[in-house]
Amino acid sequence: MLNLKDLGAHYRKVRESRGYSMGDVTNNHLNKSQVSRFENGTQMLLLDGFMHAINGLNMTASEFFLTIGNFEGGNLHRFGEKLQSYIVTQDIEGLKSLILPKPRTKEKKIFNILAKCAIKDLSGKNLLTDEECLFIDKHLTDIEEWTVFDVNIFAMVLETLDINLVYQLGLDLLKKDKFYKKLPYNAHIVKRTVVNLYVHMILHRKFSYADVFEKKLEVLLKPNDIVERIAVSIFKKISCYRQEEKSEILTEIERDIQFLKKLDASVLAKKIEILLVNYT
C-alpha cells in the first residue's frame, strides 16, 4: 500500500495513463495548483478535494484504490492479453502454461481459474477443482460494491458458478445502474457481460433466464454495439433451434457463421462453433 507521499505520484501515473491533462481533472472545487502540489507530494488533499480529484479521472474511489494493491488493474490487463492471445489461436497448451501449480495470492488464484475456464470453453475439458469453484463463488458474493475488475472476472468465470447464482448476480449487476450509466467504459464492460450471461443461459438451456437478459440488452445495446448485436442475433436463433429443433433454423445459423468469416470476424465465428460443439 502506498504512503501519503507516494499517493500523489500514483495519482499522476493513473491520470497520465488515462490520457488526462491536469486541466481535465480540475473543477470549481479543485484547481491546478492543488493538483500539482498533491502529485509532487508537497501537500495532501483534504478528503473532499481527494474525492473530486478521483472523480476527475472518471473513476470511483473503489476503482482508484483497485490500481494500488494486489489487485492492480494492470495485472488483469496484462494477464488478459496473454489469455486472449491463446484463446484466439486455440492454444490449449499455452493456456495451461498460465496455470501456477501453487498460487499464493488471491489474484493468482483467480488468474488460474480464468485460464481453466478458457480451457473448458475451448476443449470441454474441466480442470477446475471444487475448491476453486467455492473460492470464486465466495469472492464474488462477499463483495458489496463491484468494480470493473470484479465485473470482468464475473464475465469470465460463469462456468464455475451455480446457474441460479449466475442469474441472481447478473440481475444484481443490472440494478447497479449508477455503476455503468455514468462511465462509458463501465457501460461497455456491463454490456459485454450481459451478452455473456445471455449466451450462457442459452447454452445451458435456461431459456426463461435468457429471455430476461435479452430484454435488458434491447435497452442497453446501442446501434454502434455491432459485435454484441451480432452475437445476440445468432444466439437468439440458437435458442429457437434448441427449443424447436427445426433444421431450417440450423441452416440459417450455419449461414450466419460463414457470413461472419467473410466479414473478417472469424474469431467470433470460431468461438460460436466451439460453443455449439461443447454444449450440445
Contact 133, 160 (CB under 8 A): yes
* Eight-class DSSP state of 161: S
- Cβ contacts of 212 within 8 Å, gap of 6 or more: 167, 171
In sequence order, the β-bridge partners of residue 255 are none
SS3 content of the chain, % helix, strand, coil (to 5): 75, 0, 25
Per-residue DSSP letters for 201-234? HHHTT-HHHHHHHHHHHHHH--TT-HHHHHHHHH
Q: What is the rounded CA–CA span in Å between residue 44 and residue 35?
A: 9
Between 163-175 and 130-142, two packed helices, what is the crossing angle to 10 degrees? Answer: 20
pTM of the full predicted structure?
A: 0.70
Integer Cα distance of 102 and 105 in angstroms: 9
User: How do residues 23-76 score in pLDDT, each as one tens digit?
Assistant: 888 888 899 999 999 998 888 888 788 888 988 887 777 677 766 654 444 566
Instruction: Report pLDDT for 170.
Output: 95
- Alpha-carbon gap, residue 237 to 219, rounded angstroms: 19
pLDDT at res. 94: 96
Please give the DSSP secondary-structure letter assigned to residue 106. Answer: H
User: Taking the alpha carbons of 269, 270, 276, 279 in that order, is the dihedral positive or negative?
Assistant: negative
Parts of the chain with a pLDDT under 70: 1-5, 62, 66-77, 144-145, 178-185, 279-280
